[in-house]
Structures are given as structure tokens and as C-alpha cells.
A and B are shown apart, each in its own frame.
Chain A
Amino acid sequence: MSILIGPGTRLVVQGITGREGDFHSRAMQAYGTRIVAGVTPGKGGATALDGTVPVFDTVAEAIRQTGADTSCIFVPAGGAPDAVMEAAAAGIATIFCITEGIPALDMIPAVEVVARAGARLIGPNCPGATSPGSAKVGIIPGSIHRPGRVGVVSRSGTLTYEAVQAMTDAGVGQSTCIGIGGDPIIGTTFLDILELFAADDGTDAIVLIGEIGGAAEEAAAAWAAEHLADIPKVAFIAGRTAPEGKRMGHAGAIISGGAGTAASKVTALEAAGFRVAGSPTELPALLRDAGYRG
């Protein structure tokens, strides 16, 4: 099995008629994801993806007509927080927001509205997720995956691809790979994803890919020490050589005053039983060392 998305996923793409929305929706559809609807206000009644997907004016209408349960947002930064809240209010259970460049303060009310609706938001500024062999939502290249039983969670985009490609090359398949996003305010944390993997009978091992800044990796490590003691866990932390006080592109990746350093994260993860790789290419071998036999 998998988490968040799978063969039963009924996806609505918000912003499906835009350039990015169209391009990535085609890739998702080609991968086998069931895209049941698109939403572009003012284009209701039209179709997208060469006539295969109906377009609606609102998410609520898309749900009524198609039973969509998952959303993927390609709306530009100015409208993305509103698109997130629209999806949550309409009853979407799992919302992926791919959009980057959203002002952080705009996400505070959006995250709260999602929580009050009982929905889950992944991102923003995230690459999405893939459950290899059944569905992909977002922009992760489908070609890098191989179906299997290792759950992958990461804060990054291309670094995730690097790690997943290394696993696939070594014959280590994945249950679900998720990029949670690099922005300061995100809907779902490492810890949230570990909880989902812990409850998933299709996931036998964990790969966590973090980076400097914040304390989310440390929090996830503390939880894993208690609840994921028995399964193989490996990690990689980017930014070991990053100088202090410099923002490394991701709004999240900033070190200041000793907190959130690579060293603090590596120490916390190792103390929690993770094997920490020095390079993403070492992840599959470390999984084997940790006892993973998939």
C-alpha cells in the first residue's frame, strides 16, 4: 500500500489550464493518476488535457460532479492561499500546494482553515508525492521511482529526486515519496508523515531527507525514537558546510545561533536510531545495513 495517494485517488487540479498546470497534469495522467477534474474560475464547462478532463469554476462544483477527494494546486502565489482554503472548505481531504513564492504570512490563516476543516495540506513550495506504480501528484519525475516498501520524506525537491534515483538504481523500491516543502510555513511536517508511514502496512523502512534550519528534523527524530524503534531508518541532512546566518535559497534553510545546524540534526537522528548518510548515494546501502531486506 501507500500513504496519502494511491490507486483510489480522485484528483482535481486547481489551475489546470495554466502552463504549469497543463504540463504537469499531462505527466500525472501519463503516470496513471486518475485526474477527475480541473478547476479554473471562469472556464467552467470547458475541458482540459485534450478533452479528457472536465473543467469547473469552483472546487465545490468539481467535488459534486466528480467525487474528487485530493487536490493539486498550480495557482500563482497571489491566489494560492485562497485556492488552499477553497479546497479545504469544499471538503477535499488531501491538498498538495506546489506553488512557490507565497508570502509566509499568507499561509498562517490558510493552514488554520485547513486544520479546522479536518483536511491535510502538503506544501506549499513542495514537489508533491508519488506512490510508485499507482499515482503521482505534483512535479516529481515519474521515471525515477520503483515500487517497493520504503517510505521517503523530504523537505527538498531535486535532492529528493537524487536520493530516490539512487534507491531505484540500487533496486530499492518506494511505498510513497513525499516532498513536504521548503517554506517557513508548511501544512505537514516530517513528524506528521512519519505517523502516516508508521500506520501503513506497505511501508517497512524510512528514508528522511532534511536540511539545515528549523527544528522539524529534531522533532521527527524524537518521535521516531519512541514509535519507530523497530524499523530500519536512514537519513541525509543537506547543508553541513553551509556558513552560519546565510539563507540558502529555501526560506527554511537558514542557520542562526547554533539551533537548526546540520550537527544538531545529525546528532538527534543518530540518537533516535537513524543511520545518517554522508551522500544521498549511500542511502540504499545504509538501508541494507539497517536490516532492510526489500
Chain B
Amino acid sequence: MKIQEADAKSLLVAQGLPVPGWEVAHTPAQARAAAERILAAGAEAVVIKAQVLVGGRGKAGGVKLAASTDEAERVAGAILGMDIKGITVRKVLVAPAADIAREFYMSAVLDRAARRILLMGSAEGGVEIEQVAADHPEAIIRRHADPLLGLLDYQAREFAFEMGLGAHIKAAVAIAKGLVRTMLAYDADLVEINPLAIVRETDATGAAVERLVCLDAKVTLDDSGLPRHPELEALRDPDEEDPADREAREAGLTFIKLDGTIGCMVNGAGLAMTTMDLVKRAGGEPANFLDIGGGARADKVAAAMRIILADPKVAAILVNIFGGITRGDEVARGLIEARAQQTRDVPMVVRIVGTNATEAATLLEQARFKTAATLDDAAAKAVAAARGAVA
């Protein structure tokens, strides 16, 4: 699950990491009030950042500075409602503009191949880190946390010195360890700070000081970890979840909407992707990825059908079930029930093999469903049916 920058920053603060204060505003007036407080506290300007779950906010014009309350209100008004990669901006983060001396990159991520937590850092922060990794792989510093003991102090020190953070070694070690601690505390698979920055500040006596702080934060959570962190459910952003996605998630289905005309209902992720590939190979375009999971019952099948049919572009439906844990007759019953409730007449091609396939075949035949024996045949029939429906 992706979470917004402001929520990611809250998690970092809860783990003791240095993050300058911020406020979240949903309207230009709220942004103005936030800016007023921040400017009154001594900041020379505020930064206003679109809160959306897609990358490239800066390039899209979703991150801007404002030096006065009037400007803050105007800038927030421009950013709120802006479309960034198909997402409408509904809230902004308002924070004091930092006086940045130098930017770095630091992240903790799940390294699948090494089966360890990987700490990555670069002295080239604030930019496209993937580009740095591609062009100058040697510019990325890497350390694996110990699989049993976690990130050890000496590892964090080596890492921080290599990143060129010797002048801020204590803070850098604390942040490196904090990233790994944040991962473990919330079952995150990514905790990324870009930029991690040395900023110039004025201390209580008025003297100029430099401090290492997290200016941005990106955290993604492992969905499998969510059941043991129920409080994190509150960080799911309803503004950015499509109603179909929500219904699918609540029904225990994995659903991803695509642009084609052939709705797909399959059990198992690998088989669902294969079904999409074969639809495409047969000359069609899949309307979705939908995995009903293992052991799905009739009600789940009916929910899946509702979600597929809610997409007006769907002109045919392909059901492909290889029963293992899933019983074919259960799926057939669900399909019959779903068709009875169906408000729109969309041709359907059904292929059910494996556990209880014979019983399923009898049920489908009685209900006069169009069936197919092989996956290739099913894909071809669904593509033909969609063409017929469209023509």
C-alpha cells in the first residue's frame, strides 16, 4: 500500500527521525493559514507540495515555493485540483522552505535477490536516483542489514562515511538506523528519503548551524503486514482509490483495471496474467486483471462479475478457472447466480478445468453458457464475441 508523503513523514517522526514540521491543507484558505503560522515562526518562505501517490510531482508543477501568505494561497489554489498523471490533487503539504546546503539520497528497501534489507545511499540526492543508478552505479553506496541482527552500528557508520556524511556522522547513523527501524516497525518494503539534506538554520542564540534532515519521505507498506498494523489502514487514501478497486479489495479479489474490452476472471495471478497475454495474442485487449484467489466461493464470483460489468467498455467476459483448491462447480454456481442479476447482456466464454470440472460442465450446459476446452480456444472465442458485440 502506498501512503502520502505527510503520512510517511509522521511514521518517520514517530521513529525519532529529524523531519521539519509541516501542515496539510485541503483548501487555499487552509494553505494560507498554515503559511501564516510557518512564516510567523521565522521561515522566509514556504514550500507547497501536492499530496498524490504518483511520482514526478515536481516536474508536473505540483511543488512550488511561496514567500508570502497571499502567494501561498494563490499557489495552493493552482496546485489543488491539478491533474497529475490522472490523479486530481485534493490536498497539499505546507512546510518551511529549507535553506539547502547539500542534498543526498537514502533509502531502505527489501532486496529480494539477497533476501535482506538493503540500505542505499548516494551523495547525488534530490534527482532521479534511478538515473544515477543506471549511469553511475558506483555512486550508489549499498549495505545489507544483518538478517538476524539488523543494521549494526558499524555498518551504519561505514555507510554514512562512504556517503560523505562524515561531518554529520551521528545524525547520519541515526537516520540510517531509523530507516531500517521504520521498515521493521510498520512492515514497510520501502522507506525512501529524497532528498536527505544538510540545511542551514539559525539556532536559539542566532548563530548559523547546519543540520541533516529528511525533506521528503516515501513509504510503501507490505500488504501482508497490514493485518497486524490495523492503525495503518487509516492511512489508505480514499481519494485515490477507485470505487471498483475498493469493492475488489473488500471482496478479497485482486483487481487492476486496464483499457481493453475483454473482462477477465481467473484464479491465480500467474494464470490471470497468462490469460491476459493470450487475449492479446488472439487480437483482443484485456479490460482488467482479476484474480479471484484460491478456494473462491459463489459470492466471490458474483462480486467479481459485478466489478467487471461496472466497466462500460467491457464487451465480452472470459472466465478461466483451473480448479485446485477452487472447486469448479462453486464457480459455475456463482456465474449462474451473477448472470441472473446481470443488468447488461454481455457475452461470456467460460472455461473451467480441474477440481469438479465435470459437475461444472453439467451446470454450465444446463444454463446454456458458452464454454471452451482450452485456454487458447477460450481467448479466441472471447475476442470473437467482443467483436460481435461491438459491431
Which of A242, A253, A257 has the largest number of chain B CB atoms within 10 A? A242
Question: Does A102 lie within 8 Å of B224, measured CB to CB?
Answer: yes
- Is A212 an interface residue, CB under 8 A from the partner? yes
For chain A, the bracket of interface size reads: 35 or more
Partner of A185, one of B115, B279, B325, B354: B115
Measured between beta carbons, the chain A residues less than 8 angstroms from B117 are: 105, 108
Please give, as numbers and ranges, the residues of chain B lying within 8 Å of A7 by CB-CB distance. Answer: none
Q: A103-B222, A104-B189, A154-B270 are in contact. Are A257 and B147 (CB under 8 A)?
A: no
- B354–A184 touching, CB < 8 Å: no
The main secondary structure of chain A at its interface with chain B is loop
Interface class of chain B by DSSP: mixed
Residues of B with C-beta under 8 A to A240? 277, 280
B204 contacts the other chain (CB 8 A): no
B268 contacts which chain A residues (CB < 8 A)?
Answer: 156-159
Chain B 34-48, CB-CB to A under 8 Å as 1, else 0, gives 000000000000000
- Residues in A whose Cβ lies below 8 Å from that of B116: 108
Chain B neighbourhood of A139, CB < 8 A: 324-325
B112 and A252 form a contact (CB under 8 A): yes
Contact of B322 (CB < 8 Å), options: A155, A162, A251: A162
Q: Are B189 and A141 within 8 A (Cβ)?
A: no
Are B274 and A248 in contact, with the CB atoms below 8 A? no
The interface bits of chain B over 240-262 (1 if a CB of A lies within 8 angstroms of the residue's CB, else 0) are 00000000000000101010000
Binary flags per residue of B87-129, CB closer than 8 Å to A gives 1, else 0: 0000000000000000000000010110111000000000000
In the complex formed, the residue of B with least CB distance to A249 is: B269
Q: A278 in the interface, Cβ–Cβ < 8 Å?
A: yes
> How many residue pairs between the two chains, A and B, have CB atoms under 8 Å in the bound complex?
158
Q: Is the CB of B271 within 8 A of A156?
A: yes
Q: Say yes or no for B371: interface residue by CB 8 A criterion.
A: no
Q: How far is the CB of B279 from chain A (nearest CB, A)?
A: 8
What chain A residues lie within 8 Å of B110 (beta carbons)? 104-105, 184-185
Given A159-B268, A185-B110, A214-B112, answer yes or no on A281-B273 (Cβ-Cβ < 8 Å): no
Q: Is B130 an interface residue (CB 8 A)?
A: yes
A174 CB to nearest chain B CB (Å) = 16
When distances are taken between beta carbons in the complex, the residues of chain A under 8 Å from B375 are 162, 279-281
- Contacting B224 at CB < 8 Å: which of A104, A155, A280? A104
**Does chain A have a CB within 8 A of B353?**
yes
Query: Contact check: which of A105, A215, A238 meets B270 at CB < 8 Å?
Result: A238
Judged by a CB distance under 8 angstroms, whether A246 is at the interface is yes
Whether B270 and A158, one on each chain, are in contact in the complex, defined by CB atoms closer than 8 angstroms, is yes
A239 to B258, CA, bound (A): 13
Task: Indicate the size class of the contact surface on chain B.
Answer: 35 or more
B308 shortest CB reach to chain A, Å:
16
Closest to A209 in B: B270
Is the Cβ of B322 less than 8 Å from the Cβ of A158? yes
For residue A279, which residues in chain B have a CB less than 8 angstroms away from its CB?
Answer: 274, 277-278, 281, 375-376
**B58 → A minimal CB distance (Å):** 18
A113 to chain B, nearest CB (A): 8
Residue B183 CB within 8 A of the other chain:
yes
A156 to B268, CA, bound (A): 8
Asked if B234 is at the interface (CB within 8 A of a chain A CB), the reply is no
Would you give the shortest CB distance from B77 to chain A, in whole angstroms?
A: 30
Alpha-carbon distance A251/B147, docked complex (angstroms): 20
Instruction: Looking at the assembled complex, report how far the CB atom of B157 sits from the nearest CB atom of chain A, in whole angstroms.
Output: 22
Contact of A250 among B225, B269, B276 (CB under 8 A): B269
Q: Does B374 touch A at the CB level, under 8 Å?
A: yes
Cβ of A100 to closest chain B Cβ, rounded Å: 8
A132 at the interface (CB under 8 A from B): no
Q: How far is the CB of B159 from chain A (nearest CB, A)?
A: 18
Task: Give me the interface of A with B, judged by CB distance under 8 Å.
Answer: 77-78, 100-105, 107-109, 111-113, 127, 139-141, 144, 154-162, 165, 182, 184-185, 209, 211-212, 214-216, 219, 236, 238-243, 246-253, 257, 278-281
The 6 closest A-B pairs by CB, nearest first: A156-B270, A249-B269, A158-B268, A159-B270, A112-B147, A103-B225
